[in-house]
Structures are given as structure tokens and as C-alpha cells.
Chain A
């Protein structure tokens, strides 16, 4: 494997050097030279206007993947409650399956599942594989991965998706490692290359500075974890079941509740005794006290360095309360101990997409933007007219937040003109 610059066409324009994140390109005597820092990310190939750079010598395999069909979604649940990302993935999976003209499968593991899972069937699922057993009571990656691997080997999905949650980001790598296939982490957009019928997995890197599109090149299924709260939930009224899977189902266990969906459910066979875990779960506790879950709110009012100190966060809280929202913060504010870590939005904090995101005194470091730029509406209040936050905001106010926010609170509370 080699990366080469065709020096007959290279003009030494340095476009490639400017995009290289690894300091791997030097322009020497008017030609680009690639040094040993190169990680073969391909950024320079895209940047080169003269098509002078290419990567050669990648072992190409031409395996036949025709046995792999359908989109399978791992549906994560906690105590029988489906995590939102499950619905988001089913929505996205349905779209991909439609393009590929194939089936959408869900796979759900848990214990004492009940009607709480009914929502799954609102998303156009062709078949839901279920394992309801005490061994799946807790989300443990070894027992879960074992059954997922069995399912993937048996049903051979072409695409396998899971949520990029704490559990998903531990479980799916393990599954991928066992199956020996690629896994793309934390995708924010998925699409299909319709010429080749392959999955294009797009994800932010460098804290959202750049996006990379990744393919799985010589193994199946094509696996990806998908960042929660990025894909839209879109329930569909689907009545037709995909032709291919119509005739081979039977329900192995009965629960009254399942009857309603019996044409779409299959209980998986597995040898219960062979499932052993290396993890001894000693305790679980809901995070309380300092716990707040930013993603539960439609309105987030965030403060950054411009807040100036811990006491001034009361002002942000007041505005958040007036709007029925929650307080967020930039890393600068959290690192200064003005507010606790669970409030942090951004690359190293929470990724959020509320209906309204109000950024007060946040300049908009790229790491912060990475965590909130998919919010529906972004309102920025900042003293500095050149602050990067205004580049992604829908509405901007250049001004002192200590003049703006109290007026806004008053305005909202009184409902009258100022």
C-alpha cells in the first residue's frame, strides 16, 4: 500500500498541505512530498484539483456478498423501555431498506418485555427478532454480543445498525470484532451508493471540524453506530410485509400481547445454558442530584465564558425556567467550576438537538458547536460580532447578555411591551 503524488501534474499549490491534519505533506521544490506521518485518510486526494494524488496497492477483495440482505437494527432497551435512538434507527433503517428494496429487521433482547415495546411496530418493521430471557435482563456486552452474532450469522443482514449510546458503543465493537467486519462509530448521516448498493457512513471527526464518509469494503454486514438525537423519528403506516420474509415465520412462544403483531415477530432460538457473563453487576442507581438529562428538554439555555462566574448562572436558570427549559453550558464554564459537568454541551459533553438552543456568552468553539449544531433553532447572544456562534445561529443578538437576558426574562414574564 502506497500513497503517491504524480509530480508531472503536481503544481505545488499546497492545497493538499493545507488540508492535511497530520503534518504529513511538505512542498519541496514546488512539488508535494508525503512523509511518514501520513495515515492515508484521503483528505489530500479530495483537495487536489489536479488529481495528482492516489493511494495504490490496497488489497481488493471481490467477495460475493449476495447472501447478505436487509437492514437490521439493534433496538436497545433499559428495563423494558425502548431507548429513543431505537426508533430513530428504525426510521433511518426503513429509508435505507426502501432504497435497497429490502427488508427492515429489528432485534430486541431483554427480560419480561411487555406492551411498552409496541411502538416498534409504528416504524415499518418487517420482522422483529426477540429474545426475552433473564440472561438479557441487564445490558451486558458478552451475553448480548453472543446472541447478536448468532443472529447475524443466521439471518445475514447486509446492514447492521445500533445506537451510539454507552452500551451500543461497547457492544457493537465486540460484535464487529467477533464477526470480523468493519464498524463505523457515531455516524450522523447514512445513505446508499445506488450504483454499488453499499452503505455510505458519514461521521464527524476532529470534533465536527470535518466529516468523513466511510465504507465497509470487504466484509459484511456493514455495521455502524449512530449518534442519538440526530436522526429523525418518522413513524410510518406500513401494512405490507416484505415479500421475501412473508412465508417463513412461526411464533415460538406466546404472550397475549404479541398476538397483535404475530405476523411480524420471531422468537429466537438459543441455548440458554451457554450464555455466561464475565460481569457481575453489583448495583445500578439512577443518577440523581447533579443529574439532569439535557436531551429530555425542548429548550436549552446555555452559558459560556461570557457568564463571568458561577453566581451569574442564576440568570441563565431564570431564563431557562421561564421558557420551560434546562440550563446547558460550554466547556469553558464547566472547566471553571461554574456549573457541573452534566450540563456540558459539546464534544466532550452531551450532544443535544432541542427545538430551541439559546447560547449566552458562548463564542462557539468548534467543540461546542459539535454538540448542538443540529438544534432546530439556535439563538446566540454575544458581545463579539465575530464570534463563530453567529455562523451557525438562526437568530443573533450582538450585545451584553447582562442587558439582554434580564430584559427578555421580564418580557416573557410580563407578556407586555417593555
Chain B
């Protein structure tokens, strides 16, 4: 193919949940120097983007004609995650960062991404992780796909075939695999079953260190501030709280024999046997 084939991977920086613990005394969150990480599912999205590029290259396309772009909306600190995306094989990255983007729900996020994606003269595939670790919604992908009027396939487990006009995608929906053919441009979201993300390469890391990452603000996206961030959101968080556990645990005491006997009694009591 002679004209550029662009794969845009939408990723998000999230707090690593391993750092989040609950203080059992007060039942409140204990935050110990939040470490931010690339949203785990988004690593699979980046990997799939890079693999699509490698597929085209292995069938004779020039690597220069296929571009993998990592895109995120977030605070300035998200830049480090975009560098990680480059070390994992993305060709370049763009950061959407502006105070007015803060507090966006999935709708406002999708709208902001749409404005950004429209700035690229062309895009062929948009890839998302199936959900984020913090928000956990998986809604931005389908909302954005609608805004761009392109098809969306969630939870893709493999891209069976792809050329520059269409692709065949297999996905697992509860108890069945479904295989679809869709025309490009199109969007997909991916889960962990689609690939095994690579370890960053040394050359990728060196390139990531030196790459210039452009930052686009609301004005560069031609966005009405009232449509961005919390102002542009239809939903609003009104309360955040930690789950309370209602029951007391009954511990089985004694040696293994006594413990098993007591448990056996309970199982009988609750009619499992």
C-alpha cells in the first residue's frame, strides 16, 4: 500500500491496584505512594497494534507506510506511559492534556478522543483495551466508534484476517465465539486472550527516551470546554465509599480431622450434600 495505514491505540494510565489496600480498622483505603501503570488490558491493545503492523510488513508492505499511534487523555504525567508504549513498538504518541478534560465520564472522554482522532488525516483501525482497571467500564470504545460512525467489535480474541479494506475478527461472547467481517476503518477492544505482550526492546526504550510527544489541549482540538471533562459529562460521581463486609467469619478450630468434621457438618447443614 502506498498511502499511510494508521492504527490508533487508545490507552490510559491507571493507579496500579497492587498498591491499594484497605485499612481493616477503619475500612478506608490506604494509599501508599500510588504507582501509576499502563492499564493492563491496554498493553494487549498496543501489542495487537504492533502485530498488525508486523503482519503487513511481513507480507511486503513498507514499515514506513504503517503507523501505530498511542493516544491517551490524561494529566501531564501520562507522558511516561506513552513513552512506555513507544518502547513496546508504537511509532509515536500523542497526549491529550488540559485541565478542562478532568472529571470526564465515558461520554466526554469519547468525545475528546473523537476530536483528537479527527485531527489525523486518516485512520484505519482503533484499538482499545477491553476495560480499564480503575473505571472498569469498557464504554469509551463503543461510544467513540458510534461518534466516528465506524463498526466496533468488543472483546476481540483474534484478528483472523486483515487487509487494508477489511478485517475478520473473532470474539468470545459469554459462551460462544462469533466471527465477523467488518470494513475498515473500524474499532475493536481486546482482552488478554488475544496475544502475549512483548517485553520492551532496548532500541524501543532508547527511542522512547528521545521521542518528542506532542500535547494537545482543548483549544487545539477545537473543543467547546463545556463539552469536555466534568462539564461535558452526563454522569457524575456523587459518592465514593468502601464496601462493608457484613458477616463474621466462623473459623474451624482444632487439628485437620476436627476442622474437616466441623466443615462437613456445615456442608450438611446448608444442604450441599
**Which residues from chain A sit less than 8 Å from chain B, CB to CB?**
1, 17-23, 36-43, 46-47, 55, 57-59, 78, 139, 141-142, 145, 165-167, 169-171, 173-174, 176-178, 180-186, 200-201, 203-219, 278-287, 291, 293, 299, 323, 341, 347-348, 355-356, 366-367, 373, 377, 379-380, 390-400, 403-404, 407-408, 411-412, 417-418
Contacts and interface: CB of A to CB of B under 8 A. Distances in A.
Interface stretch (B25-33, B87-95, B119-127, B198-206): B25-33
9 contacts: A1-B229, A18-B31, A46-B239, A141-B142, A177-B143, A215-B235, A366-B17, A397-B251, A399-B256
Contacts of A293: 174-175
Nearest to A19: B29
A418 B76 CA distance: 64
A219 to B, nearest CB: 5
Contacts of B238: 42, 200, 213-215
Interface SS of chain B: mixed
Given A169-B139, A211-B243, A216-B235, A280 B17 contact: no
Contacts of B261: 411, 417-418
A177 B142 CA distance: 8
Contacts of B65: none
B187 to A, nearest CB: 11
Interface stretch (B3-11, B45-53, B150-158, B214-222): B150-158
Contact of B110 (A142, A177, A282): A177
At the interface, is chain A mostly helix, strand, loop or mixed? mixed
A407 B255 CA distance: 12
Interface string B252-273: 1000110111011011001011
Given A404-B256, A404-B260, A418-B260, A207 B133 contact: yes
Contacts of A380: 249
A59 B257 CA distance: 65
B236 A281 contact: no
A287 B155 CA distance: 15
B249 A394 contact: yes
Contacts of A341: 192-193
B15 to A, nearest CB: 5
Contacts of A186: 136-138
A111 B221 CA distance: 44
A23 B134 CA distance: 14
